[in-house]
Chain A
Amino acid sequence: MKWLEVDSVDLEFHEKRVLSDVYMRFETGKVTGILGRNGCGKSCLMKIIFGTLQARYSNVRFSGKTVFQSYRQPEKIRFMPQDSFIPKFLRLKNIFELYGCDPEDLFNDFPEFAKDPDIAFGHYSFGQKRLLETYIILKSSSDFVLLDEPFSYIMPVYVEKLKLIIKKEKTGKGIVITDHLYRDLLDVSDELYMIRDGTSIPIKDPGELRTFGYLP
């Protein structure tokens, strides 16, 4: 089993402290959900773990070994940000090749993409792009994947399919998800954290989300 830890995160924006006391541990074979109100620092935390956002202080460790700029080791970690990140002119075949995935898997799971596999990525709808980006990151060979809002903008039928794929993929990797579609997140998560007032709170029972003011 491999694990990924992040702690002592200290992040400020314009002298406003966003994250101050965070400790999270993610393991391969598990899906970890991160919940929190808008602007609480969930996406920033993912970027800090991935190494593309510099916090005032942070410590990221892979199986006990501290790493800087985690993204330099794509075999260890990959990240799907909130915004579409795949260049529009690329074709599915090229994208799958670069990320070491097999497009046949996609065509089996989502046959609609098999109809015209040669069109440029920019021609797909926003929801389809989102689904493809989530799928590629999930299927790429990496110990940990960070998914920022993977269920948003995707139609319910595909969300259910995506949840099955997440459950299948977690056998070989650690998956970290943040999303406001909390029912879907709770369905797939083995462990749960909440970020509140800049600190991380491990959630043992979903009822605590109400206590901490995330749910009405």
Chain B
Amino acid sequence: MIFYRGFWIPASLITLFCCLGAWLVAGSQIKDHKEFNGIMMFVGPFFWIKTITNVLMLLYILQFKAHEMYFYANLGIRKRELLGIAFLTDYLIFFIAIYLTGLSLKLPLISF
């Protein structure tokens, strides 16, 4: 979590941007169409925006924050574990935010 604190602000802003985008797209189409499969139907492009920006953030961390990895290595934590947990947490937050966006439009996450 300490490591995630280092980049949670840009990560959260991107998540908010994606949620706002999904909310606008879903909100505009909900008036024209009655049948929807859930909010996930509109998330595709925003998921890729999130993924691309996360890759860019990862490259930035590896390039400019590489020395900070020693702080965690001195606590016995592997670089892969650190990055894996941080980015999984970020995606979890992203999907929770998307779920909440769907709820605000009375749309489920996925429906069959």
Residues of A within 8 A of B (CB): 50, 52, 69, 71-74, 78-81, 83-87, 89-90, 94, 98-99, 137, 140
Contact = CB atoms under 8 A, between A and B. Distances in A.
A80 B71 CA distance: 9
B67 A72 contact: no
Contacts of A73: 76
Contact of A85 (B2, B3, B6, B68): B68
Given A87-B2, A90-B2, A81 B70 contact: yes
Chain B: interface size category: 10 to 19
Nearest first, the 9 A-B pairs at minimum CB distance are A83-B67, A85-B70, A74-B76, A71-B73, A78-B74, A85-B71, A85-B67, A81-B70, A72-B76
Given A81-B67, A84-B67, A99 B74 contact: yes
B75 interface: yes
A52 B75 contact: no
Contact of B6 (A52, A71, A87, A94): A87
Contacts of B76: 71-74
Interface string B1-24: 011011000000000000000000
A16 B68 CA distance: 28
B75 A98 contact: yes
Nearest to A51: B73
B47 to A, nearest CB: 29
A71 B67 contact: no
B74 A79 contact: yes
A87 B68 contact: yes
